[in-house]
Amino acid sequence: MKNYLILGAVILALVSAGCTATRGKKSSVERPSSSASGANDSFDANAGTAGAGAGEAPGTDSDADLAKRTVYFDLDRSEIRSDSLPVVEVWAKYLVANPSVKVRLEGHCDERGTREYNVALGERRSNSLQDALTSRGVGAGQLAVVSFGEERPLALGHDEAAWSQNRRAEIILQ
């Protein structure tokens, strides 16, 4: 609950103040280390907020949906699954409304296949997300792309239940 209030407050502060959220500059709200906005700790933040569902938060409905920042993919595919498109819509709207906000798009794969090929496949996925955002009006300068291949799984199992969670691209506030 505490994570969620902090997240909501940060987003409100960013949205209302329209402040520059580039690295090195502090916003008016102290960035908690476990929030989704931690740039260098993105992987750690991920582990922290994965369980924080889309509950009620201060502000409008779109602020609540910003907590969902992961899109999913089918095996060997780089087209965003249709059930992930609402996440794209919400973030595109937010980024268009806040052109000084920058995000990093991180692509991931499940563990099958070889590691370097999976880095390349992960980049296809984050590029796919980048295209989906720019085609909805987000400026290219707001988006950075990186792939971690299979190196940062969310789920550590060796079955489709785990693999489907790992085939993803995430939006990380910079």
Partner 1 sequence: MNKTLFSLFLLLGSGQAYSQLEITISGGETGAQPIAVVPFAADAAVPGDLAAVIEADLARTGLFKPLRREDMLEKPTQAAQVDYKNWSAVGVEHVVVGTLKTSAAGKGALSFELLDIVRGELNLNGEVAMQNAMRWRSTAHITADRIFEKLTGVRGVFDTQIAYVTAAGTGRKRLFQVIVADADGANPVTVASSREPLLSPAWSPDRKRLAYVGFEKGRSAIYIHTLATGELRKLTFERGINGAPAWSPDGRTLAVTMSFESNPDIYLVNVDSGKRQRLTEHYAIDTEPAWSPDGREIAFTSDRGGQPQIYTVSSSGGAARRLTFEGRQNLCADYSPDGGSMALINADEGVYRVGVLDLKTRSLRILSDGPLDESPSFAPNGAMLIYAAQGRKSAELATVSVDGRTRQRLTQAGDVREPAWSPIGR
| Residue (4 or 148) nearer to partner 1, CB | 148
Least distance (Å) from partner 1 to the CB of residue 113? Answer: 7
Least distance (Å) from partner 1 to the CB of residue 5? Answer: 20
| Residue (65 or 78) nearer to partner 1, CB | 78
| Residue (89 or 151) nearer to partner 1, CB | 151
Least distance (Å) from partner 1 to the CB of residue 59? Answer: 26
| Residue (45 or 57) nearer to partner 1, CB | 45
Kindly list the residues in this chain that would bind partner 1 in the complex (CB under 8 A).
23, 33, 38-44, 47-48, 76, 104, 106, 111-117, 119-121, 123-124, 144-149, 151-152, 156, 158, 172
CA distance 99 to 101: 6
Least distance (Å) from partner 1 to the CB of residue 33? Answer: 6
Least distance (Å) from partner 1 to the CB of residue 46? Answer: 8
| Residue (54 or 115) nearer to partner 1, CB | 115
The secondary structure of the chain, three-state, reads CHHHHHHHHHHHHHHHHCCCCCCCCCCCCCCCCCCCCCCCCHHHHHHHHCCCCCCCCCCCHHHHHCCCCEEECCCCCCCCCHHHHHHHHHHHHHHHHCCCCCEEEEECCCCCCCHHHHHHHHHHHHHHHHHHHHCCCCCHHHEEEEECCCCCCCCCCCCHHHHHHHCEEEEEEC
